[in-house]
Structure 1
């Protein structure tokens, strides 16, 4: 398969409601999409960077720059290209995992579309639908939080994740647990907002029978997480700390986690995400698929990944209406707490041209 050109396209989508975490509040998503055009088919990828380097060192303008100046030109020398070749070629550049993941995803989609093979089958999926959880941002008040959680429970979500930060942690969790009882699968996500000095305070979460606490400490503090895991009974889950199969193996060996959140964009793509899954499965460590408020492009690929055998916990693969009034693809709709795994070739979905053009804010064609 020969790559003939890449289209970069930025779109602006307002969120259904503001989404607040410990690193900021989002009201709109500035999303970078990639369309890979080959001599056999075309494919789509989604870059999950934010507009600023708050969640990670990557950001949208930086992704555009590294893609146009380095990553895309590097693929021009390949006579025949597939997902594995993309990963090998891009491995010569340090970092920029989210940009690499989007480019890999677009080429994989084109490759598998040309071959008539679904991404889920290529990755090794064993399920035709996946259980879904929902991520609930930091709210202005506990009553507002309870109303939001009530709505998601009524929609059928099988697990609720609460974003926490210092000053918004014990009491909100207590209120949700008391309101919805022990039958609700409940977990929390700190997005690196705490330090090991907060261990005694975080241990106050233990009585609430949480599925896990996600990434309470800084991403490079593996030893701190290992120590905190000894001081808490709540299972420790790593997110930002896991950037590769190697880092996952190291974290597991140190006892820093018993659960791993796999975000393909954060780890450089779906092929590396599968390797992390395999490492965790071999060590008996549960995994689940995280989200970055993706459109239907990224959501389709995430659902395919979440159908692998090691994904035993509901992920953040929510329905399209959790974040967007209108998705750029046909919407993903929750059915009895699950989403169906796409069965079409490649990622199984494509943007709706009319709406895509309506929300496009910038585009650039990069010929090869």
Structure 2
């Protein structure tokens, strides 16, 4: 694959409704879209999923744009790429900046699959032609959260994730369980607890949660091991696991029983596949986490979730979950609780270029 040109676009769109967690309230979303075109005319799409401010990780839209333009694209352009696996190796000389790396690396994967004439999910060893849909409720008002849950269940979603934090946990979960005793329910804490909150977290054991996601520090695996031993509910790690080594170390410590895999968080599709393979070998279930993405990143999540270890419904929702209109054609749709994965080459979706022009706030064209 000889890259000829790369388009970088910053887009911005308002959410249909605010999405709130323990750290931030998101009203609008920015992201960097990447289009890479090779000398044969094939084009691959990627999306860097950092937020406008560094509340989830240290990366932002602005830092991703800088890293892509000034560091990663020059590295990629040094010599042709034979296979997308090579991209992550080439980027090892750059520390962290996983979301910037993932945006470019995934675009190479899409390009590669299109050149092969294969759906991306088949290129990475996916097996399922449809995946179970799951959704996150980002609302801390109990009444409104219950209304959202009812609406999502009516749309066929199989798993619901709610956001918790100290003082907004036991009573909140209890009300949901009373209304929906058999619901596949999980709680995401976004690192808002400490080990001092152990008695509070132990009270959640009675509600039969699928898991508690990232209850402790974003960079911790040691205290999570202590916590997991004291809880019946499985601990799921998210922000703590950004490399294969982190996952191996946390497994040795017994820090988690479930892993959330986000392509952007771990630096690309190939690192995500390697984490899947590790957990599958260890008997650890995984699921695909969401980042309030636009359609390009959502398409990569769908492809990843077709792999056999993804036995828990992920944050895989329809395009209309967050957007009045998405930037892809066709838009992602949920039917009877599942999302069908496209059979077209690559990610199977195209950019809606007319709409892209309306939501694009900045653009640079790079010829190599």
**TM-score, normalising length: structure 2:** 0.98
Matched, 1:102 2:82: no
Matched, 1:207 2:203: no
> 2:77 matched to which residue of 1?
76
For 2:120 and 2:96, the matched residues in 1 are separated by 25
> 1:115 matched to which residue of 2?
116
> 1:334 matched to which residue of 2?
334
> 2:145 matched to which residue of 1?
145
Shift of 1:219: 2.0
Q: Is the 8 A contact 2:9 2:362 kept in 1?
A: yes
Q: Is the 8 A contact 1:33 1:47 kept in 2?
A: yes
1:139-178 equivalent positions in 2, closer than 5 A: 139=140, 141-178=141-178
SS for the counterpart of 2:351 is: coil
For 1:8 and 1:167, the matched residues in 2 are separated by 42
1:260–1:80 Cα change, 3 Å = closer
Deviation track 1:265-317 (CA, whole Å, cap 9, x = no partner) reads: 00000101000000000000000000101111111110010010000000001
SS for the counterpart of 2:287 is: strand
Matched, 1:345 2:345: yes
1:79-94 equivalent positions in 2, closer than 5 A: 79-94=80-95
Q: Is the 8 A contact 2:81 2:87 kept in 1?
A: no
Q: Is the 8 A contact 2:142 2:172 kept in 1?
A: yes
> 2:355 matched to which residue of 1?
355
Shift of 1:254: 0.5
Shift of 1:29: 0.6
> 1:30 matched to which residue of 2?
30
Q: Is the 8 A contact 1:138 1:168 kept in 2?
A: no
SS for the counterpart of 1:26 is: strand
Q: Is the 8 A contact 1:138 1:164 kept in 2?
A: no
1:256-295 equivalent positions in 2, closer than 5 A: 256-295=255-294
Deviation track 1:130-153 (CA, whole Å, cap 9, x = no partner) reads: 0011101132x2111111111111
For 1:82 and 1:304, the matched residues in 2 are separated by 18
> 2:43 matched to which residue of 1?
42
For 1:79 and 1:158, the matched residues in 2 are separated by 43
Deviation track 1:231-256 (CA, whole Å, cap 9, x = no partner) reads: 11111100111112221111111100
Q: Is the 8 A contact 1:3 1:81 kept in 2?
A: no
RMSD: 1.0
SS for the counterpart of 1:45 is: strand
SS for the counterpart of 1:242 is: coil
1:208–1:73 Cα change, 3 Å = same
Shift of 1:12: 1.1
For 1:307 and 1:100, the matched residues in 2 are separated by 22
Aligned residues: 366
For 2:70 and 2:295, the matched residues in 1 are separated by 27
> 2:234 matched to which residue of 1?
235
> 2:183 matched to which residue of 1?
184
SS for the counterpart of 1:191 is: coil
Deviation track 1:311-331 (CA, whole Å, cap 9, x = no partner) reads: 000000111111111111121
For 1:288 and 1:78, the matched residues in 2 are separated by 35
Q: Is the 8 A contact 1:214 1:239 kept in 2?
A: yes
> 1:127 matched to which residue of 2?
128
Q: Greater CA deviation, 85-94 or 59-68?
A: 85-94
Shift of 1:80: 3.9
Q: Greater CA deviation, 5-14 or 257-266?
A: 5-14
SS for the counterpart of 1:91 is: helix
Shift of 1:263: 0.3
SS for the counterpart of 1:105 is: helix
Q: Greater CA deviation, 339-348 or 204-213?
A: 339-348
> 1:297 matched to which residue of 2?
296
> 2:60 matched to which residue of 1?
59
Question: Unaligned 5+ residue runs, structure 2?
Answer: none
For 2:68 and 2:144, the matched residues in 1 are separated by 41
For 2:139 and 2:146, the matched residues in 1 are separated by 11
Structure 1 segments of 4 or more deviating over 6 A? none
> 1:219 matched to which residue of 2?
218
Shift of 1:358: 1.2
For 1:170 and 1:366, the matched residues in 2 are separated by 52
For 1:79 and 1:45, the matched residues in 2 are separated by 18
**TM-score, normalising length: structure 1:** 0.98
